[in-house]
Chain A
C-alpha cells in the first residue's frame, strides 16, 4: 500500500516536473527563435559604418565584441562611437565610425586595439599601416574635381599614405586637348580605409568614399594568368617559335591624335 502510494506520488511529481520543464523549454525556444531572427537582421552592417582598426571579420567580430566601449574611450580623436538601440546602423552597442564625420587618425600606438579586452580588435595589429578598415573608392568620377581636369588633389594630399595608397595618375585631358588630368587612384593593398580622403573631399557629398572590402573589391578568378607576367616569370616566351609581327597603325591620313600638346606647354 505504502509502496503504491509512494510510486503514485513520485510519478505525479515526475509528470509535473516534466510538464514544467517542457513548458519552460518551449517558452525558451520561442524566445530563441525571435532572438536568432533579430540577430540575423542586426548583422547587416551599413556600408558607411566602418569598424575600428584591427576589427575581426564582421561575423567573428559580432561574436567577440562585448560592447563595453573601452575602444571608444581610448580613441583620442573621438572617432569611435557605440551603435545605439533603434539606430539604423551596426549591431547595438558595437563600435564604429563614420569617415565623413570623423575619420580614423591612425595613431601609431593604436590605443583602441590595445584597450580591447576580448581581441574583437585583433591585438596582433601593431602597425597601423597594416590596418584594413575598408578601401577608399573614387566612387563618382563625373563630379570629382580632379577628373574634371581641376587640381583639387585634396584626397591625395591628406592621405596618411600619400603616394602609396593614393597616387595621381596623369592622363590626357580630352576636353581641352592640351592639359593633363590628375586622376586620384587608390591602391587597395596600401589603403587602410582610414577615411581621411572621404572626410576631406570638398564636394557637398564626397566623391571618394571608404567602403567595406567586400563591396569595394573585385576578385580575379583563380585560374586567370596574365601572359606578360607568366612570360617574365619564365624568362622567355611561353610558346617558343611565335613570330612577333609589327603592330599595324592606322593610315597616316586617317589618324589624328586627340592629345596635341602645344609647343612650349608642359
Chain B
C-alpha cells in the first residue's frame, strides 16, 4: 500500500477544509462562511469551536442558540469520533508545525526544550483565567491557530508573524513544541478524546521488530508504548487522549503493526511467521530507517 497514504489523506483533508472556507471569498461560492472559530455551512449547519465558546462563557457571557448548537455538534462529533482529529486533520497550524518538524529533522537538531505534555492544560487554564479576570478573550489576541485561519480567510495583517514564531519555535526551540506540548486548543480537543471511538491499534505488535520508526515519527510518541509494548492481555489500542489519530505510525511501519479501528476492537493479529525473523538491532534500523 502507498507508504504515506494517511499523510496524503490528511493534507488533502486539510486543504479541502481550507478550500471550503476560501471558496466564498475567492470564488463567490458560499458553502462555508466564517472561520474555524465559528462557521455556518450552507446556511443550516452552525459549527462553533468549544475553546472559543468556553472563553466567552467564562467572561460571563451566555451565547446565542446557534452558538450553543454549533458547539454541541462539534463537541459531540469529536468526542464520538476522535477529539484530536481536529489537530491533525483540520487545524491549519498542523501543516506549519509538520513543516517545521521536517526542517528540524533535516537539520538533525536536538529535541530541545521539552516541557511536560500536561503543560497544555496549564496553558488552557491560564487562558481561561485571564479571560475570566479581564472579561475579554485575551488569548485570542495571540492564539496563533485562530490568527492563522482568520488570516487566510479574511486577511493576514501581521498574523504571519505569529505563524513564523510557531514555525521557528518548533524547528529550533522545541521538537513538536507547539502542538505536542503547549497549544490549549489541542488540550480541549484532547479532553474530548478520552472516550472516542476511532483508535489506532498496535494489533500486530507481535511482528514489531523494535525499529523505532513509529516512536520517531509520532508527534505524541508517549502514547505508543502501552499499546505496542503491552504483552498478553494488555490492550493493543492506543487509548491515550493525546493521540491525534494522524496515522503516521501506520504510514511508517514496514511490518503493518498499526491500523485504525474502534475502541472496542482489542483483537490481536497473530504473528505472520511462526519462525520469528532475525530481529534487527534497534540502532542500525533507527538510524537509517527514516529520512
Contacts and interface: CB of A to CB of B under 8 A. Distances in A.
A213 B119 CA distance: 44
B48 A38 contact: no
Given A35-B141, A70-B38, 16 more contacts: A35-B142, A36-B130, A38-B142, A39-B138, A66-B37, A67-B35, A68-B37, A69-B33, A69-B35, A72-B154, A73-B24, A74-B33, A115-B33, A115-B40, A119-B61, A123-B64
A117 interface: yes
A116 B39 CA distance: 10
Interface in B23-69: 24, 30, 33-35, 37-40, 46, 48-49, 52-53, 55-56, 59-64, 66-67
B164 to A, nearest CB: 12
Nearest to B39: A68
The 8 closest A-B pairs by CB, nearest first: A84-B157, A86-B158, A63-B59, A68-B38, A117-B67, A39-B138, A62-B136, A64-B61
B161 interface: yes
A118 B122 contact: no
Contacts, number: 167
A87 B156 CA distance: 11
A221 interface: no
A67 B37 contact: yes
B158 A84 contact: yes
Interface in B129-156: 129-131, 133-142, 146-147, 150-151, 153-156
B38 A91 contact: no
B191 interface: no
B134 A36 contact: yes
A82 interface: yes
Contacts of A107: none
Interface string A40-71: 10110000000000000001101111111110
Interface in A7-62: 20, 24-25, 27-29, 31-32, 35-36, 38-40, 42-43, 59-60, 62
A27 to B, nearest CB: 8
Given A85-B162, A117-B70, A70 B34 contact: yes
A62 B37 CA distance: 15
Contacts of A91: 136, 141
A92 interface: yes
A149 interface: no
11 contacts: A35-B141, A38-B138, A38-B141, A59-B135, A62-B135, A63-B60, A73-B34, A84-B158, A85-B158, A117-B38, A117-B48
B126 interface: yes
A24 B124 CA distance: 12
Contact of B123 (A31, A38, A70, A86): A31
A172 interface: no
